[in-house]
Amino acid sequence: MTASALRSAEHDVAIVGGGPAGLACALELRQAASELSVTVFDRGVPPLDKPCGEGIMPDGVHRLRQIGVDVEALHARPFCGIRWLDSSAQRPLQVAGRFPGRPGLGVRRTELQRALVDSAQSAGVELRWGWKVLGTPGRKHRCLRVRAPDGRESEVRARLVVAADGLRSPVRRELGLAGRPEAPSRQRFGVRRHFAVAPWTDLVEVHWALGLEGYVTPVADDEIGVALLWSGRKARFEELLEELPELRRRLAGTRASSRDFGTGPLRQRVRGVVRGNVALVGDAAGYVDAITGEGLSVALHQARELATAVAAGDLSLYTKGCRRLDRTARGLTELVLWLQRHPAIRRRAFRALAGEPGLFERFLAVHVRHVPPSRLMPMSPRLAWRMLSNG
């Protein structure tokens, strides 16, 4: 399936979902093959919001620049690293590290959406807001059944369909690509709220408790976003905040600047990311957890991998690219999730990392793809020794 072959269809590329993943795909595809017509369908109308930690890691910020987003013009706030704070012990523990090179960026989801929409329009992407995709029947050519804002239904043919329709992707389910769901006892959920207060640090803070984390991301000079992730129970924002004493103290007396917005279960397994001429991107392509905060960056990298595969005329390259991305992202995410489930070991790890900050900064360098995962190997014996000696 070459770029030239795509032109014979009614639509070269139809993208289901106009969030950051879908719009990034549209921009990457236009850059890789400018002759392609790219159309985005979304049932919503901008500004589109979503429960999200709203922190973009440095490698994700780089990808935004590469696809033409004017990052400097965003109403946003840079952050230079990450601080972990554990309140589950009698004596609170913390470890912090800074990114190598450029900072990450905290930005409201609606602000990022606006910038991506502007870039997509400038790149010649057709944006159909208020269009609901009803189904994806067909074999030889993937046909989308759509409903226009005026209620009329029709079929749209496209040589390539990109499903960027989110965590609970209907397209993924319809194609039979959804994997086994997480056991209810291990399901994790998230909720986000903003507060009208100046950030007190240039780091993203992660406050840890038993089965709970609170993420504080600066998103403007006068606003922060707080995302709470937890597992195994129903809970409200205020109830969860009570279990994070340092964060609760910081937020005392501040005014909420947005309504609560929740999502879950977070883990979404997939059987594959390509079926026929349909490719899954972003959360639709599978999700482990938000615990490492790199969901947006992964989606931006996937968009690049898909454009490369389309330009080469071989969607199997996208599958291979996703596997490469998945090895690093999934490995680090599963490691941090394991620490969450084992608080005694986590406290040992915190003490060990606090005693040698360079170890945590190397972890962050791998996390933002500044260095390969192999760079973690030399630090493993040192970390193990410190964990044993600081028990």
Instruction: Please give the Cα distance from 29 to 275 (Å, whole number).
Output: 19
Could you give the 3-state DSSP secondary structure of residue 192?
A: strand
Q: What is the pLDDT of residue 357?
A: 78
Identify the CA nearest to 299 among candidates 327, 316, 322, 278.
322
Provide the token pair at 25: 């795909």
The C-alpha atoms of residue 35 and residue 32 are separated, in whole angstroms, by: 9
pLDDT in the model for residue 7: 41
C-alpha to C-alpha distance for 313 and 225, rounded to whole angstroms: 41
Per-residue pLDDT of the chain (391 residues; tens, 9 = 90+): 444 444 434 789 999 999 999 999 999 999 998 899 999 999 999 989 988 889 999 999 999 999 999 999 999 999 999 999 997 767 789 999 999 989 999 999 999 999 999 999 999 999 999 999 998 754 444 678 999 999 999 988 898 999 999 999 999 999 999 999 999 888 999 999 999 999 999 999 999 999 999 999 999 999 999 999 999 888 999 999 999 999 999 999 999 999 999 999 999 999 999 999 999 999 999 999 998 998 999 999 999 999 999 999 999 999 999 999 988 888 889 999 999 999 999 998 898 888 887 888 988 998 898 887 766 655 555 555 455 455 5
The count of other CB atoms within 10 Å of the CB of residue 54 is 27
End-to-end Cα, the chain, rounded Å: 57
CB burial class (10 A; 0-12, 13-18, 19+) of residue 199? buried
Residue position matching structure tokens 């329009």: 121
Distance CA 197, CA 256 (A): 9
Q: What is the reported pTM?
A: 0.92
Closest CA to 60 of 388, 302, 371, 364: 302
Right CATH number for 1-54+108-179+268-341 from 3.40.50.2300, 3.30.70.2740, 3.40.50.1970, 3.50.50.60? Answer: 3.50.50.60
pLDDT of residue 106: 97
CATH architecture assignment, domain 182-265: 2-Layer Sandwich (3.30)
- How is the chain split into domains, by residue range? 1-54+108-179+268-341, 182-265, 342-389
- Return the pLDDT at 376: 63
User: What pLDDT, on the 0 to 100 scale, is given for residue 391?
Assistant: 53
pLDDT of residue 75: 95
In DSSP terms, 127 is beta-bridged to 40
The β-bridge partners of 215 are: 206, 227
